[in-house]
Amino acid sequence: MEKRKAELQQLINDLLGEAKRQGASAAEAAVSSDAGLSLTVRMGETETIEHTRDNGLGVTVYFGQRKGSASTSDLSPQAIKETVEAACNFARYTSEDPCSGLADADLMATNLPDLQLYHPWKQSVEQAIDLAICCETAARELDPRIINSEGATLNSHNGLQVYGNTHGFIGGYPSSRHSLSCAVVGKQDDSMQRDYWYTLSRQGDQLESPEHVGEVAAQRTIARLKARQIPTQQAPVVFQADVAVGLLRSFIGAIRGSALYRKASFLLDHLGKPIFPAFVEIHEEPHLPMGLASASYDSEGVATHRRDFIRNGVLESYVLDSYAARKLGMQTTGNAGGVRNLRINSGELDRVGLLKKMDRGLLVTELMGQGVNMVTGDYSRGVAGFWVENGVVQYPVEEITIAGNLRDMMLGLQEVGTDLETRSSVQTGSWLIDKMMIAGE
């Protein structure tokens, strides 16, 4: 891998030199090389096996404050030269933008530690098939009400990414990501349901066991059988941890620079204002070893740092790349390419404890539709889950809609559970929200 990294770094250097020769005043480029295995089994038989090997290169050049970009999947010298030429031609005929350009040179990362992101999984195709079959078999045999399967899928991918620019910055790192998932169908009388489970890690030996993944998929499916509607009402809502991830992503979307300078966010001009209860802390940790989104520099080469977005409930920082920062008259936060290992602090209650605290209300385990208006904050989603009475799940529910406003939902956050969702670059426990409108019968 080190040899391949050196080859790609040389490719970037050559490309940047070519951009300069063609008249560019500045340039940046990123190249990636990925390989992996993906396979699916269904009903105990291998359904698909796919080996992948992909290359990609993107280059952006600047002629003063005129910008042009081009990309290619062909890494041959001739293709790279033609790609640079195309980017330069685009830049010559675009309008000047006073905010365009590389990130400031003094912000480039100088310390590039090994964040332990590369852990290739050394297994044969036959061993991978056995794991997937074991997973699906565990799901199908758990309960006679499991009548069908959508299959079990195993993915194992390794990649190498290198970025460089004409400030003299160049950096690259290999990474790996492995996952195993299973989805099955259950039936009881005239009720049919499907559900799934998955495990994901940078290390293959850190995945949950295939038996566990299959059993959880089957248990979740069985628990949803005989679902019913509930009357329209206002009630507290618990968003299960894997669903609450979406609420945190919506929050980040609302403080992203591109939404702010376009005035398309319900959190416009909220910097320094309380938008969560005082107990809430939200931060990113980009240097977390083996983190799913760890990186010592962002996609512009800017050094990343631990950053608080919410402290004591107050919005402390936006999410900015250099372009958005210039549009807003601010400085980049090192978030070109997104946030890295975002996390909200947990309270002291697990999911069972949250349900007891809620006493009576809705536990949301699945969201449907895209009913989120980032300009107004209005939130309306179809959901499935469970109705809770006296702090205990009573029965599954479906064909209902919840509605509210993200600003009110964030201020109405009562507790964050200790049941941390770790299979995402955004980590959170379950959220208990004081009240939402539930549309049912």
Q: What is the largest CA-CA distance in the chain?
A: 73
CA 96 – CA 24 distance, rounded (Å): 14
Q: Which CATH class for the 2-223 domain?
A: alpha beta
Is the pLDDT at 315 greater than 90? The verdict is yes
253-304 residue pLDDT tens: 999 999 999 999 999 999 999 999 999 999 999 999 999 999 999 999 999 9
pLDDT at 1 over 80: no
User: Would you kindly state where each structural domain of the chain is located, as residue ranges?
Assistant: 2-223, 227-441
Check if the beta carbon of residue 31 is closer than 8 Å to that of residue 5.
no
pLDDT at residue 236, as a whole number: 98
Please give the average per-residue pLDDT across 166-172, as a whole number. 96
The mean predicted confidence, pLDDT, of the chain is 96
DSSP one-letter string for 142-209 = S-TTEEEEEEEEEEEEEEEEEEEETTS-EEEEEEEEEEEEEEEEEEETTEEEEEEEEEEESSGGGSPP
Mean pLDDT over residues 44-49, rounded? 96
pLDDT of residue 347: 93
Question: In this structure, what is the dihedral angle of CA atoms 209, 211, 214, 220, given to the nearest 10 degrees?
Answer: -90
In eight-state DSSP terms, residue 38 is E
pLDDT of residue 362: 98
Q: Which pLDDT does position 152 carry in this prediction?
A: 98
Residue 350 sits at φ, ψ, to 5 deg, of -80, -175
Question: What's the first-to-final CA gap in the chain, in angstroms?
Answer: 59
Residue type, 341: N
Residue 142 has pLDDT above 90, yes or no: yes
Q: How many CA atoms lie within 13 A of 187 on its CB side?
A: 5
And the tokens for 73? 């999947």
For the segment 174-219, what is each residue's pLDDT rounded down to a tens digit? 999 999 999 999 999 999 999 999 999 999 999 999 999 999 999 9
pLDDT 10s digits, 363-396: 999 999 888 999 999 999 999 999 999 999 999 9
Mean local confidence (pLDDT), 15-27 = 95
**Could you tell me which residues come within 8 angstroms of residue 246 by beta carbon, excluding any fewer than 6 positions away?**
367
Going by the DSSP 8-state scheme, the letter that residue 103 receives in this structure is P
pLDDT at position 441: 83
3-class DSSP state of 298: coil
Token code pair at residue 166? 């004409």
